[in-house]
Structures are given as structure tokens and as C-alpha cells.
Amino acid sequence: MERIRVESIQTGYGDKVIINDLSTKIPVGKITTIIGPNGCGKSTLLKTMGRILTIKKGAIYLDGKEIHKMSTKELACKLAILPQSPAAPEGLMVEELISYGRYPYQKGMGKLKAEDKKIISWAMEATNLEELKYEMVDSLSGGQRQRVWIAMALAQETDVILLDEPTTYLDMAYQLEVLELLEQLNKEHGCTIIMVLHDLNLASRFADFMIAMGSGRIIKSGSPKEVMTEKVLEAVYQIRANIVSDPETGCRVCMSYGLLNNDKKKKRIKRGA
């Protein structure tokens, strides 16, 4: 069963078309990761599903309803999107930023109600931020800041969360911290999570469903075992990959890789030496 259905969309930036005639389905209650080389359309697809970008052709449906026919508030109550490296205004405390997630439910300049405060407290508890509620956001570590943004999305009280490269600029420990939090939200609260990831092994490890893109189109979609193959990675990245199963997690990982044209390149260098 799909949560989001994308039908034959064309989209891009201005007159430049990045994605043309793309269709896919995002399964409900699962973690979906989107992979592919730089410039292939990963973030463009995510932004279009989050209605940050408009479509030139086709349609996108959320729970069977076309998103471009939904009001901004209606969509914000169903779907949250976190862009790559979001920035908060200076001088904001953790609790204040998280409270922004309640704006879709407020009328005019209304103040936070008891129910709003209850949900904000739950979002902080779910992301283990209670002890940091009065800290300034810009004083936090990268991993802590990402948890605050995720908590804001939770306070928005949606069960669909889109994230554009949530582990960018984070070290290995913080990457795992953020992804394990998202995995926990998925398992305990049934959130449908869609995220763009550059790290193939993390994408495979945390995904239930993967989408591999190249040149604005989907090369392969399916389970990590179906997508993390030598053949698919060759088509997507032009690499010769060595795929093995992680003995600890059972997930498919890219152990090593080389460029497909590396032998030809070496010959050219040797001839020119």
C-alpha cells in the first residue's frame, strides 16, 4: 500500500527540466531512501513531493489526494519536510524552535494552547531533548541540532517526514544517532520517512525501500537487496562495486569499488608517460 504516489511528473528549476515523466510509489509506514550521484534529481524529487517545487506535468497524491489541490495548512498537517542543512534564526532556544511545528494548527496570532504544549513536550521526549530545552540552538552540536529539527517536524504532528540529506556534515557517531532516531520513530510511531542519503551503506542499512536515480529517472526501486547490487550500482554510478552482506546486520554493503573506465585511464596515462 502506498502513502505517496507520483504519476508521470515533469519538474525542475525555471525552464530547466531535471525530472521528466517519472512515476513511483512510496510505501506507507516504511523508511524509503533515495540514492544516486550528484545532480541526478534526488533532492528535486524530494522537494517536489514536499511541494517546495511545483510540477510542470503529472500529479502527486498523498493518501489519494492531489497535493497541489490541498491548502498549505492541510498539507502541513499531513507532511513535514526538512531541507538540507536548515538554519534557525539566532537567539532561539530549543523549545522555541520546536514550537514552530505547531503553527499549522494555530489561528491568526494565537498563542500555544495546553494541547500544543503537550505535543511539544512529547516531541522533546521522543528526541531526547528535555535537558536541552532552554539551550540556544546555535550552541548545539550538529547531531543535537538535527534532533531539534526532527522534533519540530514531530511537533507538526504529521506521520510523513521528508528529509534531504539529514546526515550531511555530521561525523559517523552523529550520523548513526540521527538515523537510529528516525528508525525508532518509524518503528514506534509508524512514521513514513523518505530521505535522500549519499552514503550507500547507511541507505541500505536503514531502508525498507530504496530508490536509485540517475539523470532524472529511476534506475531501480525495491528492497535494499534488490537495489544494492553490482549491476544497479554500475548503472547508477558507473562503478565496479564489491557487494557483501554485513555479518552483524545482514544488510548489503558496498565493501569496495572502482571506476569502470579505470583500466582505460591507466593505459592512456602509461602511453603519455
Low-confidence ranges of the chain (pLDDT < 50): 273
Question: Phi/psi zone of residue 187: left (φ > 0), alpha (ψ -120 to 50 degrees), beta?
Answer: alpha
From residue 156, how far is each of 16, 67, 151 by CA, in Å?
33, 17, 9
Output the pLDDT for position 268: 54
What are 197's three cell numbers?
542519503
pLDDT per residue over 12-63, tens digit each? 999 999 999 999 999 999 999 999 999 999 999 999 999 999 999 999 999 9
Which letter does DSSP use for residue 22 in this model? E
Question: What stretches of the chain show up as alpha helix (H) in DSSP?
Answer: 42-49, 72-76, 94-99, 114-126, 142-155, 172-189, 200-206, 224-227, 230-237, 262-272
User: What is residue 26's predicted lDDT score, i.e. its pLDDT?
Assistant: 98
What is the reported pLDDT for 190? Answer: 92
Residue 108 has a pLDDT of: 63
Q: Which residues pair with 162 in a beta bridge?
A: 81, 194
Residues 6+ apart with CB under 8 A from 197: 33, 34, 35, 165, 166, 167, 203
Q: What's the pTM value of the predicted model, to 2 decimals?
A: 0.90
Count H helices and E strands in the chain, helices first.
10, 12
| pLDDT value, residue 90 | 86
